Amino acid sequence: MRRFLLLSILLLTLLLPATGWAQALGGLIVGKLTGTDGAPLENISVSLKKAGTGVNTASDGSFKLKADAGVQLLHISGLGFVTQETSVEVVAGQTTTVPTITLQINKHELAEVKIMEQRSLNQRPATVSKMPVALLDLPQAVVTVDRQVLEQQQVLRLSDALANVSGLYVTSTTGGTQEELGSRGFAYGSNNTFKNGVRFNNGVMPEASSLERMEVLKGSAAILYGNVAAGGVLNLVTKKPQFERGGSVGLRVGSFGLWKPIFDVYGAVGKSDKVAFRLNGTFEKANSFRDEVKSDRVYVNPSLLFELTPKTTLVLEGDYLRDNRTPDFGIGAIDYNILESRTRFLNVPGAKNKTNQTSTTATLTSRLNDSWQIRAIGGFQRYDNEQLSGNRPTGINNGTITKTNQATKVSMVYPRPQMYGNWQRSLSRTQSTENYYIAQLDLTGKFRTGFLGHTLLVGADADQYQTNALTYGAQAFDSINVLDRSKTVPAPAKRVSGYDQLLFSSRTLGSTRRAGFYVQDLLAISEKVKMLAGVRWSYLETPVTTYAYDAPVNGVQKITATEAKTRYDNAFSPRLGLVFQPIKTMSLFASYSNSFVPNTSANSFDAEGKPLDPSVIDQYEVGIKNDLFKGALSANITAYRIVNSNQTQTILPGAYNYSIDRPNAQEMAGEVTSKGVEVDVQSKPMMGWSVITGYSYNNTAYTNSNIYENGSRLRYNPAHTANLSLFYNFSSAFGSNTFLRGLNAGITTYYVGDKLAGRNTRLVDPATGKAWANGDAFKLISIPNYTQFDASLGYSYDRFSVRVKLANILNELSYNLHDDNSVNPIAPRNFQATASYRL
């Protein structure tokens, strides 16, 4: 499959010059769009109806569009405006100026789907970039996935949408309660996940039914968002209010008892033409292919749009999610060998993971004049989680026992097959809360200084995390055999019968405070050459207070508080990129940027006891973006190299800077390097067909380490991913007057290859600095490659629609692993069906 995708992409690439230069033989159409109040209209789609190519208007309402000689029909459409078409005669080698076009407001018919179909991958706006520039002008890879695609694929979880973005993958699903994503060798934590431009705690699986689109900004985004991981950022954009009244109700059912009613309503508030609303939500209840695993969740997403003035809007958005599910650490492993089972459940009875997440966001946008705009965002998020669970399945007996000869100090391993698979379970409990506050201000504008054109971004942000994490001491519960639960295993002498008997262990209070100031300018040196330059300064404070609970005396636990010294960190994040556009539909780019990781762990100090500075990660990226076949197909290729040359590592005994007084001290002398290639191809609907395909290669490895072998790969990052999504709408072949006009079908495939988990083997003993006498106990686990193949069939008639999806048709078996203690199988063959009615 990989070879097929690569050959297809290479063939498309060979066609780039011929296709692109053919367009350059026509003329140029220029013009300007305004509203009824005379104000210029930005981000309105202007396209050639016959060719399908198009552009979006700039902030001053202007547009430039290359076209073949002859009479051309311009198709002009924008959300909330009446669609217009106008004829223009184009003369080869000349510029044709269209008189200013005024668009009328249409509050009753919004051509939302038509706009999506008119825009290619490189023409769609992406708010994650924070700048009003075309993606062809951005020296960085960006991929957007629209609602139409998410609905076609019946995306239930974010992991279902990965088949649309090359190089974005699931790293693990620890405990079955979350989906941890990553790209380019770096994990997406809560710092890298956003919803409507505001950080989102990804400790819970977000709701996909509310999404308008998913935006992925690949590579370094530190200049825009501060201390984010180097792999990229993910922004989830929810559905927005509309003045046109409408909506839908639906019901999704599926394998393993899935039952999910969904609703979405929107429209003007009363008869107002200044205030609109939207309310969508869902309830979900399901069992699982995993024994004893259940889940239920409730989600509501209300929003209001206020048109305060003709140039100023305010959007208020709320988000509430209650998610309850059985924590499930999977099937376990013995001596880094995965146990054979897809369904075996190892957790204790009554295990629960309960999460409540509430957020509010206010976005104020004001167009100051034709060239300048200001946007302010304020947000709050509350996250509460309680987990009642057994311990993770580690330390499962491998059927051997080690005995040491006290005279010779030689250890020998003896077989004890009757113990194989025995494991002692215990009860554990954790509670955590998080309050998150953010304020952000961005000013964007366009102007000229001499021959230079400027698109300027100036911004500032400040946020704060207030965290409260409470842990209880784990207590023995019982013993089982993980291979045969019917085997009798003696219970431990001491055990507790319930979570309410667990004692407090520790409480950690944190209050991370951050602030950043940034400036970025896209310089148009000529029509073909552009340069993006900018810098950010970030400041962080991380005070932490830890409370330890002693053993109870007369039923009372004494508390000891330890207040860690507050850390103060700051870092500069520069960015420099160059874009060359030999033709209007092609851009070649090269860029440098960096990001940083604060070293805030308990051992992040040097041999003298001083705190370590943040680790700075350098990234180099080159690529090509193309709109081919008159904009019908977009093909983007990116190559990157990311180097963390000051990775922290423990100072080993025997090193020149080792301190016997601080045996856990660290140095910033290690190095990790990530390098790879990503290809993304997307088409517009053409003759009923639409395609999304891609491929990624990544190698993330230690390139300078005092413990691990240089060249050894880091865990969780697949070396290869490939994706293909193909959909066909039968109405293009059978016309609009037949029964088949509402029929559509599609296939989606997603390949993951050469992925590792477990624990990286160490060359030396960190405690002594010497080679292991009997070898390291750590091992890597090779995760089976797999190709997931899905198929779907949909039909729409009038206001009714139904879609059926069969997932993992080949019944592939693989796993998502965290170390060797959360081994979660992927879902087997399953189906989903969704019926909906449009209001």
Distance of CA 679 to the CA centre of its chain: 17
pLDDT for 108: 42
For the ranges 417-421, 532-536, 561-565, the one whose mean pLDDT is highest: 532-536
pLDDT for 736: 55
Question: Which DSSP string do the residues of 252-315 spell out, in sequence order?
Answer: EEEGGGEEEEEEEEEEESTT-SSEEEEEEEEEEEE--SSTT--EEEEEEEEEEEEEEETTEEEE
Predicted confidence (pLDDT) per residue in 221-251, tens digit: 999 999 899 999 999 999 999 998 999 999 9
Angle of CA points 348, 349, 354, to nearest 5°: 90
Residue 614 amino acid letter = P
Q: What is the pTM of this model?
A: 0.84
Alpha-carbon distance of 320 to 335, in angstroms, equals: 42
For residue 609, the tally of other CB atoms under 10 A from its CB is: 10
Instruction: Please state which CATH number belongs to domain 237-344+354-391+426-470+492-838.
Output: 2.40.170.20
Query: At 17, is the pLDDT very low, low, confident or very high (cuts 50, 70, 90)?
Result: very low
396-405 own/partner pairs: CB under 8 Å, 24+ apart: 396/332, 396/333, 396/334, 396/421, 396/422, 396/423, 396/482, 397/334, 397/421, 397/422, 397/423, 398/334, 398/335
- Per-residue HEC secondary structure of 150-181 comes to HHHCCCCCHHHHHHHCCCEEEEECHHHCCCEE
- Please compute the mean of the pLDDT values over residues 187-212 and round it to a whole number: 92
Alpha-carbon distance of 176 to 353, in angstroms, equals: 10
pLDDT for 684: 87
Q: Which two tokens stand for residue 17?
A: 């010059």
- Which residue matches tokens 């002498």? 493
pLDDT for 419: 80
Lowest-pLDDT range of 386-400, 721-735, 743-757, 772-786? 721-735
**pLDDT higher than 50, residue 12:** no
Higher pLDDT, 409 or 322: 322
| SS3 call for 51 | coil
pLDDT for 300: 98
Query: At 39, is the pLDDT very low, low, confident or very high (cuts 50, 70, 90)?
Result: confident
Lowest-pLDDT range of 3-12, 139-148, 687-696, 786-795? 3-12
Lowest-pLDDT range of 253-267, 401-415, 764-778? 401-415
- Residues of the chain with pLDDT > 70, as a percent, come to 91
Alpha-carbon distance of 514 to 333, in angstroms, equals: 40
Nearest to 577 by CA among 139, 126, 275: 139
What H or E segment, with its residue span, contains residue 447? strand 422-449
Nearest to 641 by CA among 185, 137, 223, 162: 185
Q: Which region, left, alpha or beta, applies to residue 147 given φ > 0 means left and ψ of -120 to 50 means alpha?
A: alpha
25 phi/psi in degrees, rounded to 5 = -85, -5
Alpha-carbon distance of 206 to 234, in angstroms, equals: 12
- Please compute the mean of the pLDDT values over residues 414-436 and round it to a whole number: 88
Distance of CA 829 to the CA centre of its chain: 25
Lowest-pLDDT range of 27-31, 203-207, 302-306? 27-31
Burial class (CB in 10 A: 0-12, 13-18, 19+), 588: middle
Distances (CA, A) of 421 to 338, 339, 345, 428, 663: 12, 10, 14, 21, 36
| SS3 call for 109 | coil
The span from the first CA to the last CA of the chain, in angstroms, equals 42
What H or E segment, with its residue span, contains residue 638? strand 633-650
Burial class (CB in 10 A: 0-12, 13-18, 19+), 736: exposed
**pLDDT higher than 50, residue 112:** no
Predicted confidence (pLDDT) per residue in 465-509, tens digit: 999 999 999 998 888 999 887 776 776 666 777 888 899 999 999
pLDDT for 15: 38
**pLDDT higher than 80, residue 448:** yes
Lowest-pLDDT range of 177-181, 258-262, 395-399? 395-399
Q: Which residues of 388-410 are buried (b: 16+ CB within 10 A; e: fewer)?
A: bbbbbbeebbbeeeeeeeeeeee
Which part of the chain is CATH 2.40.170.20?
A: 237-344+354-391+426-470+492-838
Question: Which DSSP string do the residues of 196-246 spell out, in sequence order?
Answer: TTEE--TTSPPPSTTEEEEEEEES--HHHHSS--TTEEEEEEE----SS-E
pLDDT for 415: 64
**pLDDT higher than 80, residue 21:** no
For residue 348, the tally of other CB atoms under 10 A from its CB is: 19
Which part of the chain is CATH 2.60.40.1120?
A: 1-119
For residue 362, the tally of other CB atoms under 10 A from its CB is: 14
The HSE-up count of residue 228 (CA atoms within 13 Å, CB side) is: 30
**pLDDT higher than 90, residue 539:** yes
- Please compute the mean of the pLDDT values over residues 380-387 and round it to a whole number: 97
- Please compute the mean of the pLDDT values over residues 684-695 and round it to a whole number: 90
Beta strand residue intervals within 310-394, DSSP E: 312-325, 333-334, 337-338, 352-367, 372-390
* Beta bridge mates, 439: 378, 462
Q: Is the Cβ–Cβ distance between 447 and 390 less than 8 Å?
A: no
Alpha-carbon distance of 231 to 171, in angstroms, equals: 13
pLDDT for 53: 74
Q: Is the Cβ–Cβ distance between 207 and 239 less than 8 Å?
A: no
Higher pLDDT, 603 or 159: 159
Nearest to 166 by CA among 219, 227, 119: 219
Alpha-carbon distance of 541 to 453, in angstroms, equals: 38
What H or E segment, with its residue span, contains residue 2? helix 2-14
Q: Is the Cβ–Cβ distance between 78 and 63 less than 8 Å?
A: no
Residue 407 amino acid letter = A
- Domain 1-119 class? mainly beta
pLDDT for 785: 97
Nearest to 50 by CA among 630, 583, 586, 585: 630
> In the predicted model, what is the mean pLDDT of the chain?
89
Lowest-pLDDT range of 397-406, 546-555, 599-608? 397-406
Alpha-carbon distance of 594 to 223, in angstroms, equals: 8
pLDDT for 688: 85
